[in-house]
Amino acid sequence: MANSKNIPTVEIGVRAFVFGGSCSNLQATEAVLNRATDLGFTANEIIFTGDMIAYCGQPAETAHLIRQAGVHAIMGNCEESIAFELDDCGCGFADGSACDALSQQWFNHCLNVIDADTRLWMQQLPRFLDIELGDFTLRCIHGTPEAINEFIFPSDIAAGRYTPRNEDGIDGYICGHSGIPFAAEVSNKVWINSGSAGMPANDGTSRVWYALFESAQIKLKVSIESLDYDHEVAASIMRKRGLDNGYADCLSSGIWPSHDVLPAEERQITGIPILPSTFTFKKKIATVQDPQLA
């Protein structure tokens, strides 16, 4: 099924498990998918928001795992770049920047190990996906509706530097790409980023992130959750495969090796652990944050 904009639409039911940014981290991806299974989610209730491949050591294995899981997956800029054999990861990093140098390393690694069949599958992933979750319709995107590689951080929404497009027929957006989990409401639209399931959130912990969605009539409950996994194995595999760089260290330290893309507000809270939190949104009504869990 597709809507008037030819965006595919799927009926999820009343709850969903959302993750993204697996970043070639097989151990973390396995842990997150196991968590979804333990919580009783079926493949039709699981959403992946892109960037299954990136910094870590097992891109082919991670892509295979997500493909075999049969979850609803959309294209991230990393899939786009590898699938279409573009010049770089597509994040738009400045030439010569730390991010540019670090991304080139994993990008070349992915080019060598992702096979033609996987690239073809990645080419066919939708860039947008609408999910019907009870009374809510949420549009899954990677960066923003405007650009697959646009970074939106919590402070961008809070400070009004970015306002989501006020599109008709949807209650908000589920996005990925930026790697920091958060939920917000602006202009009567929800904006939810489940964080990265394969890379820490620059908060000084090795945890990775996912989100649980549950709708009940006019209410949508979103829980941003974290997970511990065997990050030492993931880092060891990176080093064995020639990716002995700051991202291998980051898997344990929880601190990103480059803060080039971060706004000042997020740079200032580097190393401060992010707490899991639960938000309740009312359909086109103001957001209420649960004070006990925030």
Q: Is 53 one of the binding residues for Fe ion (CB under 5 A)?
A: no
Tell me how far the alpha carbon of residue 212 is from its chain's centroid: 13
Segment interacting with Fe ion, rule: CB under 5 A, options 31-39, 102-110, 170-178, 188-196: 170-178
Length of the chain: 294
Q: Is 81 one of the binding residues for Fe ion (CB under 5 A)?
A: no
Number of residues that bind Fe ion (CB under 5 A): 4
Segment interacting with Fe ion, rule: CB under 5 A, options 6-14, 93-101, 172-180, 219-227: 172-180
**Smallest gap, in angstroms, from Cβ of residue 149 to Fe ion?**
6
Q: How many CA atoms lie within 13 A of 265 on its CB side?
A: 10
Pick between residue 121 and residue 230 the one whose CB is nearest to Fe ion: 121
Strand order of the β-sheet with 219-227 is: 72-73, 46-48, 15-19, 208-216, 219-227, 277-282, 285-289
Q: Residue 23 CB: number of other CB atoms within 10 A?
A: 27
Segment interacting with Fe ion, rule: CB under 5 A, options 49-57, 151-159, 160-168, 198-206: 49-57
**Contact at 8 Å (CB) between 60 and 118?**
yes
Enter the DSSP assignment of 53: S
**Smallest gap, in angstroms, from Cβ of residue 103 to Fe ion?**
10
- Amino acid identity, residue 87? D
Q: Is 51 one of the binding residues for Fe ion (CB under 5 A)?
A: yes
From 20, 59, 76, 154, residue interacting with Fe ion (rule: CB under 5 A): 76
Residue 194's closest CA among 207, 183, 186?
A: 183
**Smallest gap, in angstroms, from Cβ of residue 166 to Fe ion?**
24
Segment interacting with Fe ion, rule: CB under 5 A, options 61-69, 169-177, 228-236, 259-267: 169-177
Q: Is 177 one of the binding residues for Fe ion (CB under 5 A)?
A: yes
Residues in a beta bridge with 182: 193
**Contact at 8 Å (CB) between 10 and 130?**
yes
Q: Is 77 one of the binding residues for Fe ion (CB under 5 A)?
A: yes
Greatest Cα pair distance in the chain: 51
Residues lying near Fe ion in the complex (CB under 5 A):
51, 76-77, 177
